[in-house]
Structure 1
Amino acid sequence: MSFEVTYNGDIQYIKVFYSTEKTRAGKYYGDFYKKMDALASDLKRLKNELDEDSEKAAKIAKDAANKALSERYGPLRYIIDERHWDEDMVISKILDDRKEEMLALAQKTFNNEVLLEEDGAAEYKIHLSEGGIEVDGEPVETSIMELFDSDNYHELNEAKLEKLEKLDWFIIWSRTEAGEFKTEGGIHQGSYSSKELNMSNCLLTYRDLPLIIPSNGTDIFSNELEIHFVDETRVSLEMNNT
């Protein structure tokens, strides 16, 4: 007796580009990574300077504002409200300029061909929880939420993100597709058992084979490209079709 198991739901493909010895040595895009590293190094220095100077700069700005108000309207008539004052109001124009340079360089470099063909530095896929299991096209009452709610699923996702957040910069491409996904080979022998359904590396598996092979094509409903900077900000990149 044979049967086919499918996950009728969403899968997210993730590809991350950042500087490594391999990417810097790339024949076609090695210079891109080196230029981004140089800009990111300057950005990191400027961020550290801003962190050191922001409190003092904010006090200078606040004192100057209070002085100007006093000179214009008389002593203590108007003052800056301490409750709404924040040292984060002081920004670095040079720092923002460096981010604009990095953004422009990335926007100029990345197009669909680069996204698809360039190796990048990391590439993986994960299943998302909005879906269910089917056997021979029929839904089965198998609870998969406990697999998605497991500590292992969340810890693996968080570990990947924590690794990236330690970098001076990275570009991440995430594409979410909906469809029916089967295992390599598709057909299994014997009888279906929910006990043979597991989660490995954030992917649902059946008999230790990930359910990642589309059965009848997929629908893309999310396609995002972002650049992340060392100051913990991020900006979306436009998908360049040229």
Structure 2
Amino acid sequence: MKTLVIWAISALMLVAPASAELIKDDNPYRLLEKVAEQTFQRIANERDMINENPDHLKVIVEDELMPYVDNIFASKKVLGRYFKDTSNEQRQAFYQAFTDYIVATYARAFTQYDESKHEVEFVNPKNVSPSDRDVTVETRVVENGRDPIRLNFRVRYDADSEIWKAYDLVVEGVSLLSSKQSEINAVIRSRGIDNTIELLNNKAQQPIRLDDEVDVPA
């Protein structure tokens, strides 16, 4: 359960509808804190809808979280050395499949989250200089009766959208990006890029259940 909760909290930073207004803040520490507060509040407000239709968690993830995730940058990192072996069409299909897969993964993780038990504390917020383009935001997940869990978010400035976006999460020293890269690269080696895209799409389309367990790296 502890591991599942970690990944539920991590979803707050990782992967807005066109009508939504983006949260803007030049300081990535303050930005992530605002995104976390807004997302947790929405989950609490829409708990009845989630209980009735767990797939609603996908909507929340897409609406509240994905605008602040550099999913294309993360997708390229996950492809790694296979990037040069794929066509532009395959890359675009992979970017979409990986993004949808992450949305579904986070939605499943949120089935383990209880807003009445868990809090996220931001550690030592810092000022950011105009030259900074990649920073680490340190947080702690706090639950009564348990030791705090270290979550460090790697965030980069996206000049195109003029907003800070998260692209990796390090949980107690373990990188989510590196773990997913190893996992997906193994599938590409054995099944090829097209079959990997199909597998990711199939996983993303599976319905969310409140008793879901999240498959996470050790």
**Normalised by the size of structure 1, how large is the TM-score?**
0.23
More helix by share: 2
**Normalised by the size of structure 2, how large is the TM-score?**
0.25
**Higher RCO (CA-CA < 8 Å; seq separation 6+):** 1
Kindly name which structure, 1 or 2, has the bigger radius of gyration based on alpha carbons: 1
More strand by share: 1
